[in-house]
Structure 1
C-alpha cells in the first residue's frame, strides 16, 4: 500500500494552517462558554489528541452497551415488523389511529415477514440517558481539542487528521445507536440514515478541500445535529415505552387524533410514524447541506478563476461507495438485513471504509495533493455487491457465506484503515516533531523552515 504522504508533499505539512468558520449561535452563546471553561481544566501536559481519543472512547462505551443488550437491533426490528408486537404497543399507548409507514412492511424487505425474532429484552431507559451524556461529552471534548492544541503549541495537520478520523468513526456508531433509540431496527431506514449522515460528513470535508475553510453553518451536524441526537436519547429514556415511543404516529403523539376536525380531514392515513418523520426531516437537511456546501465551493473556485463544475467529480467516490454498499445490503433477498449480527458488522465495515475514504481526502487537503478519486476499500464491496445479485451467487450462496463475506469485509477495512493511520501518523510526527499523544515544548519542535520537508 506504500506511503500515503510522498516526500515531495512533506513541505505542505509545514505550511498548513487550520481555517474555520462557525456561524452557529449555539456554539457562540451557549456552548462556547462551557467549552472555554472545560479546556482550562486540562493541564498543559495533556496532548490534544488524547482529549479527542478520550471522547471517542466514551462513544465506544455506548456502542458496547448496545452490543451487549441488543447487538443485532432485534428489538426494534421485532417491534416494527411483527404484527402481534405492534398491536400490543398500540393498545398499551391507547392510540386510536394506527401508525403509518412510508414503505410497505414498515420499511423491511418482504422476505423478513416470516422472520422469527429473538426474545431480546428491551434496553433499559437509563442506558439511553448514558448515551446522551456520553455523546454530549464527546462533542465537548471534540470541541476543545483544537483549543488545547493552541494552548500547548501542538496545533498542526496531525490534529486535523486525528479529529476528522474520530468524527468519521463516531458518525457510524451514532447512527447505529440512533437506530436503536428510534426503534427502526434493521430496516431500509437504518440504511438511509447511514447514507445521510455519512454523506453530510463527506460533503463538509469535500467543501473544506476546495475552499480551505471548515464551514459550520447556523445549523450544523457537529453542533445542533449532535444536540438533537442527545435529545432523542434523553426522550427515549424518559417517555413510557422507551424506544417504542418513536413507533407511534405523529398525530397520536400530539393528541390530534382525538380532534373531530382532524378525523374529518382524513388525517388518519397520514399518521406517519414519529421515527420516519424525523428521518425524513434529516433527509431534507441533507439536501440543504448539499446546496450550501456547493455554494461555498462555487464561490471559492470562481474567486480563484477556476471551474465551479470540476469539484462535482469529487462526489463520485461518495456516490460509488454509497450505491455499492446499498446494493450489496439489498442483495441475496435481503439476507444482510435478516441476520442482525451480519447487519451490524456490515454497517461497521461500511463506516470504517468511509473513514478511510475521508482520511485520504484530509491527507490530500493538508498536503495540497490532487483529489483522491479512488481507493481500494471500495473494490471489495463492489465485488460483494455483484456477487450478491448474481442468479447463483459464487461466494454468498448461503447465510453462513454471506456472514463470512461481510466479516471479511470488516476485517479488511480495519486492516487498511489501521495501516493508513499508522503510516500517516508516523510520517507527520516524524516530519513536524510533534508526537501524537505527548506535548512537546515549541522549542523542541522542528521549525517550519527546517527538516526533511525543505529538501524535498
Structure 2
C-alpha cells in the first residue's frame, strides 16, 4: 500500500456513503434545477472527473489572463477581461456542481470522485482569490495574505467539519453558492463601471491619511463570514458528538480533541503572517500560490483520512515550508552576501517546486491506490452502469 493509506485501511473505501445537507435557498430554488438540466449537455460516456478538471481549467485561464494583462496585479484590465472572469467562474461553479450529477446519472459515484472534486476545489480557492486580487488592483500586500487566510480557513473548517460529522454542510449562505455568485456579479459590475469607480469608491474618511473605500468592505465581509463559519462548523460538530457519544465525558473529550485539530491551520498561517511582516517581498505570486498548494495537500490528507477512516492528520511537514523559505533567504542574504530580492525570488521558487512535487506525489499515490482498489479508471468510465435520467 501507499504512504498515505495503510493496508488495513484501504478496505474502508467500500463503506463510503456520500452525505450532504444544502440549506441554500438560491441553490435549491434556482441553481439545482438549472444544473439538473445542464448536466444533460455532457455525453453519457464522459467521466465525471473530466468535468471536474474542465471546470478548473476555466479559472486557470482566468489567472493566466490576469498574469498577462496585469502582471503586477495593480493595473486596470481591458473591460472584456472582467466579463470573461465572470463567465469563467460561473462555468467553474456549474461544472463543479454537475460532476456529481454526472457521476450519479452514469452510476460512477464513489470516494475517488469526492476526493478529486474537493482537491480541485481547494486549489481553486487560491486561484480564484488571486484573480479577485488582480481585479480589485490590490497587488501583493497584507490584504492579499489576509484574504487567503480567510478563504482557506473557511475551506479548512468545512473539511474538518465533514471529517467529524461525515456530512458536507452548506449553510444558508455559503462560499460555493452565494459567495461565488457575489464575486461573479462584482466582476460584471467592474466591467461596466471600471475598477477605480467600483473598488475605490470613498465610503468614509477616517483621517487625512486613511479613507475607508469600497474594497475595505470586502475584508470586513470576509472577517464576518469567517466568524460565522467558525461558530457554525463548531456547532455542527458539537451537536454530532452530543448525539453520538455514550457519555458527557466522552462527548466533551471528542469536542476538545476536534478543536485541537484547528490549531495546525492557525500555526501555518501564523508563520505566513510572520514571514510577510518580516519581509514583505515574500508577498508575491509564487509564494502565495505555493502556500495554496501546501494547503491543498493538507486538506487532501484530511479528506483521505475521512474516506478511509483514519486518524486526523494533525502533523504535516510541508506546513513549515514558508518559515523555512524565509530562513533560507535571510541566511543567503546576510551570511552568503546574496542580493535580497534574488534570494527571496529563489526561495519562493524552491518552495513552489517542493510544494508542487509533494502535492503531485500525494495525488498520484492516492489516485493509484483508490483506482486499483475500486477497479476504476480516473478519467474514463471503466464499468458503465445504468443511467439515471434527470
- Whether the 8 Å contact between 1:200 and 1:286 is mirrored in structure 2 is yes
Call closer, same or farther: CA 1:402–1:394 in 2, change over 3 Å.
Answer: farther
- Give the drift of 1:3: 2.1
CA distance in 1, matches of 2:359, 2:332: 33
Q: Does 1:422 align with 2:375?
A: no
User: Secondary structure at 1:272's aligned position in 2?
Assistant: strand
- The answer for the alignment partner of 1:318 in structure 2 is 265
Give the number of aligned pairs: 378
Residue deviations 1:261-288 (CA, integer Å, cap 9, x gap): xxxxx99999511001122111111100
Residues 1:438 and 1:201: Cα distance change in structure 2 (over 3 Å): same
Partner of 2:345: 403
Provide the C-alpha distance between the structure 2 equivalents of 1:303 and 1:130, rounded to a whole number of angstroms: 47
- Where do 5+ consecutive residues of structure 2 fail to align? 246-250
Provide the residue aligned with 1:358 in structure 2.
299
Q: Distance in 1 between matches of 2:182 and 2:55?
A: 18
What's the Cα RMSD here?
Answer: 2.3
Question: 2-side partners of 1:24 and 1:7: how far apart?
Answer: 39
For 2:248, the equivalent position in structure 1 comes to none
Counterpart of 1:109 in structure 2 is: none
SS of the residue aligned with 1:308?
helix
CA distance in 2, matches of 1:310, 1:379: 23
**1: CA distance between counterparts of 2:276 and 2:124?**
21
Change beyond 3 A, Cα 1:36–1:387: same
2:125 matched to 1:171?
A: yes
Deviation per residue, 1:299-334 (Å, 9 max, x gap):
1112121332110111122112111122122223x2
Residue 298 in structure 1 maps to residue 244 in structure 2: no
2:128 is the counterpart of 1:182? no
Quote the residue 1:32 is aligned against: 32
Choose which of 131, 147, 155 in structure 2 pairs with 1:201.
155
Q: Say which SS state the counterpart of residue 44 (structure 2) adopts.
A: coil
Report deviation, 1:235: 1.1
Q: C-alpha distance in 2, partners of 1:404/1:420?
A: 24
Query: 1:411: Cα distance to partner?
Result: 0.6
Deviation of 1:250 after TM superposition, in Å, equals 2.4
1:278 paired to 2:231: no
* Cα separation, 1, equivalents of 2:144 and 2:197: 16
Alignment of 1:246 onto 2:210: no
How high is the TM-score relative to the length of structure 2?
Answer: 0.92
Partners in 2 of 1:331 and 1:360 — Cα distance? 30
Q: Is the 8 A contact 1:161 1:359 kept in 2?
A: yes
- Find the partner of 2:168 among 214, 231, 235: 214
Relative to structure 1, is the Cα distance of residues 443 and 235 closer, same or farther in structure 2, using a 3 angstrom cutoff? closer
Separation in 2, partners of 1:272, 1:304? 47
